Amino acid sequence: MKKISGGIIVIIVIAIVVLWGVRTNNKMVTADENVAKAWGNVENVYQRRADLIPNLVATVKGVADFEKSTLTDVIEARAKATQTTIDPTNMTEENLSAFQQAQDNLSQSLGRLMVVVEKYPELKANESFKELQAQLEGTENRIAVERNKFNETVQPYNSMIRRFPASIIAGISGFEKKAYFQAAEGSEIAPTVSF
């Protein structure tokens, strides 16, 4: 009788460990899916911005004899930004950095375009341009919000897969740390404003 009860205890312990492992794995799957969903939202707002740019370029071309190099820079930056994609299952620091660099280049090109637009009062007065400019500004705000939400979703996932003993299940199941969005280099330096 004592051998049976010892065997039952071993079976119960094994069952508890297996159930804990399954539960922990399922939590990690849910957290990983939340990261993928948050990433989809980030891509969605970046795509919205990319979709607005051809209309902006067409409006600028139609209203003003505009600097072609500025428009070419925006078009090329948009092409590069839309070609640089990330699979949410392979969200490494390097991949996210390359994606972020392409998006930052597009943001900088758009910024230069908006500065040059100041020279063209007829363009600034154009209703189509004003509407596109407002949509782009709104989209930039959405990008910031979605990037923040993404980072807030990645943090608990990364914490979960790194904590012991859950890290054992993460290693066995192939869950890997996800990268965070980082501030653009030099953004910690406030711009100088002089009048």
Compute the mean pLDDT over every residue in the chain, rounded to the nearest whole number: 84
pLDDT tens sequence across 36-51: 999 999 999 999 998 9
Q: Which CATH class is domain 2-173?
A: mainly alpha
Domain borders along the chain are: 2-173
Q: Are 146 and 38 in contact (CB under 8 A)?
A: yes
Q: What is the mean pLDDT of residues 167-184?
A: 89
Q: Are 150 and 38 in contact (CB under 8 A)?
A: yes
pLDDT tens sequence across 106-162: 988 888 888 877 777 777 777 888 888 888 889 989 999 999 999 999 999 999 999
- Residue 65 is predicted with a pLDDT of 61
Query: Residue 21 phi/psi, 5° resolution?
Result: -60, -45
Cis peptide before 121 (omega within 30 of 0): no
HSE-CB at 13 with a 13 A cutoff on CA atoms is 6
- Residue 194 is predicted with a pLDDT of 39
pLDDT at 190 over 50: no
- Residue 122 is predicted with a pLDDT of 75
pLDDT at 174 over 50: yes
- Residue 195 is predicted with a pLDDT of 33
pTM: 0.79
| Mutual angle of helices 166-173 and 127-162, in 10-degree steps | 110
